Structure 1
Amino acid sequence: MVNELRWGVVATGGIADVVTGDLRLLPDVEVLAVSSRALPKAEAFGARHGIPRAYGDYHDLLADPDVDVVYVATPHAQHHEVTRAALEAGKHVLCEKPATLTPAHLRDVVDLARERGLFLMEAVWTRFNPLIVELGELVRSGAIGEVRSVRADFGFTVPHDPDHRLWSRRLGGGSLFDLGIYPVSLAHLLLGEPEVVHAHGSLVDGVDAEVGMLLGYPGGAHALLGSSLVSPLKESAVVYGTEGLVELPEAMYNPSRMIVNGVERRCEQEGAGYVPQLREVVRRVRAGETESPLMPLDESLAVMRTLTRAAEQVGLTYEDVTTG
């Protein structure tokens, strides 16, 4: 393998901007190429981040033989299309969450990555936050006894605009798949895939404005979760065990402090918080591995199943908008 792992970035929106900034903090990594549907946008993004190659079509970036890894940062509805094309082009892929909008599309790219022996991971940065990693270890060690309940929310107010990506059904908008994925992923990390999913929410223009979820597990353990685009939820989480509790007082999706049975623990954030996730991709690709044990593909499939079960109960579906 070459000394530097060479990355291509597909799309130039806000998340691509922040993640690319963190990517450039890693040693032995070169952000080689960027693509946008509008070439001037790709060129401007490239100039801002010191990226030498700009393309006006992601197919051109995928055809670049020097690109090793592709970071997919398009709107949700294009994730499946771009990820599949990248894998077909022989590229390793880190795709923003949700990796796709339907279980069938996720299974499609997972099977393709495994068939081709390529690395694929859904970019759920929460799973790589040092405190979340520590939380998982605490729970597995029995530090708070048996987990009986997880309560977590993530929401903020977004003025309604049918052209905004969060309110646009054709772009895969809504609170559940963009924000609710974080509380659901946390519940999966600590309790696994639920037996029962109950969800209630409201729809606006075919996307969910808010969703409340109750996930049920054998023996009565449960998770109470929420996501919203119409109210400022606390963005906190509490994990209740039979012998104690853990609190994530703010930014449960990327916490900087955690309170374990009343004792506070803190971590320093690297860059904007995406560095641990990106470092994991580099480590696994260099080692010739095709998945991360911190965010394995089977876990992405399980979380997708839970999200879909909740979506169906509030009348949310993307089956007819995830083509290509």
Structure 2
Amino acid sequence: MTGKLKAAIVGCGSVSTGYFPFVSETFDLVATADLIVDRAKEMARIWGAQRAYDSMDALLAHEDLDAVFILTAMSSHNQLVLKAIEAGVSFLVQKPFTTDLQAGIQAVKLARAKGLKGLVEPNSFQSPVMLKAKEIIAEGHIGRPLYVRGYVERGFIPQWGGLNFYEREGGGILFDMGVYPISELITLLGP
């Protein structure tokens, strides 16, 4: 018995590589899942998970989890979050939480009703730099901001599939990269 919460990672693609070190150190990483089961098996082998599955359904049917990290394609997030909630498992999901506001509201209500915790990445707005900037603005050290501009540049990364990625996933650049400046500006200046 490790005393750590039991967790699994669903989605073992490029985004997951940033999560595996943290999850395997902080949690008892018991399983992985990916539609490409060989990828799930390889990540399980590398990071010490006991089992690998080809779907979240199979994972939830066989594992007793405290938390699941959902790091899959954007279009699957809401469906997988609902499966985690139905199974009574707290979750962290990559952005966007959902591409439908009402579906997101419903998922939050269901999670709260079951006493589950949910976290949506990115959390860059909680970085020490952002929190210090928020404090400086709130204390009036720079006066009242009258204009702000957010900017994100995304270079071409072949593994991400180029621009057709946005067409396939829906929401375009706004849901993939636009969330960073939007969430940070809301943190700094309010909604």
Residue 206 of structure 1: aligned partner: none
Amino acid at match of 2:120: E
Asked if the contact 2:11–2:71 (Cα under 8 Å) also holds between the matched residues in 1, the reply is yes
Residue 134 of structure 1: aligned partner: 132
DSSP-derived class of the 1:24 partner: helix
- Shift of residue 159 of structure 1? 7.8
- Shift of residue 65 of structure 1? 4.2
- CA offsets 1:95-129 (integer angstroms, 9 cap, x no match): 10111112122112112111211101111120232
After alignment, is 130-139 or 7-16 more displaced? 130-139
Residue 314 of structure 1: aligned partner: none
Residue 55 of structure 2: aligned partner: 57
How many angstroms apart in 2 are the aligned matches of 1:174 and 1:157? 15
Q: Which runs of 5+ in 1 are unaligned?
A: 194-324
Highest RCO, 1 vs 2 (Cα 8 Å, sep ≥ 6): 1
Residue 161 of structure 2: aligned partner: 164
Counting only pairs closer than 5 Å after superposition, residues 185-224 of structure 1 correspond to structure 2 as 185-193=183-191
Asked if the contact 2:99–2:171 (Cα under 8 Å) also holds between the matched residues in 1, the reply is no
Structure with bigger strand share is 1
- Shift of residue 185 of structure 1? 0.8
Asked if the contact 1:92–1:119 (Cα under 8 Å) also holds between the matched residues in 2, the reply is yes
TM-aligned CA distance change 1:173 to 1:19, over 3 Å: farther
Asked if the contact 1:75–1:165 (Cα under 8 Å) also holds between the matched residues in 2, the reply is no
Residue 30 of structure 2: aligned partner: 32
- CA offsets 1:160-182 (integer angstroms, 9 cap, x no match): 99x92752333236211111111
Identity %, equivalent residues: 28
Asked if the contact 2:24–2:48 (Cα under 8 Å) also holds between the matched residues in 1, the reply is no
- Shift of residue 84 of structure 1? 0.5
Residue 79 of structure 1: aligned partner: 77
Residue 146 of structure 1: aligned partner: 144
Aligned residue among 45, 49, 68 for 1:47: 45
How many angstroms apart in 1 are the aligned matches of 2:7 and 2:48? 13
TM-aligned CA distance change 1:12 to 1:108, over 3 Å: same
Asked if the contact 1:167–1:173 (Cα under 8 Å) also holds between the matched residues in 2, the reply is no
How many angstroms apart in 2 are the aligned matches of 1:34 and 1:49? 10
Name which one, 1 or 2, has greater alpha-carbon Rg: 1
How many angstroms apart in 1 are the aligned matches of 2:164 and 2:100? 18
Residue 6 of structure 2: aligned partner: 6
How many angstroms apart in 1 are the aligned matches of 2:135 and 2:41? 43
TM-score by length of 2: 0.88
DSSP-derived class of the 1:98 partner: coil
Aligned residue among 110, 113, 120 for 2:111: 113
Asked if the contact 1:94–1:121 (Cα under 8 Å) also holds between the matched residues in 2, the reply is yes
Q: Which runs of 5+ in 2 are unaligned?
A: none
TM superposition outliers: structure 1 runs of 4+ over 4 Å: none
User: Please, what is the CA RMSD of the aligned residues?
Assistant: 2.3
Amino acid at match of 1:10: V
DSSP-derived class of the 1:66 partner: coil
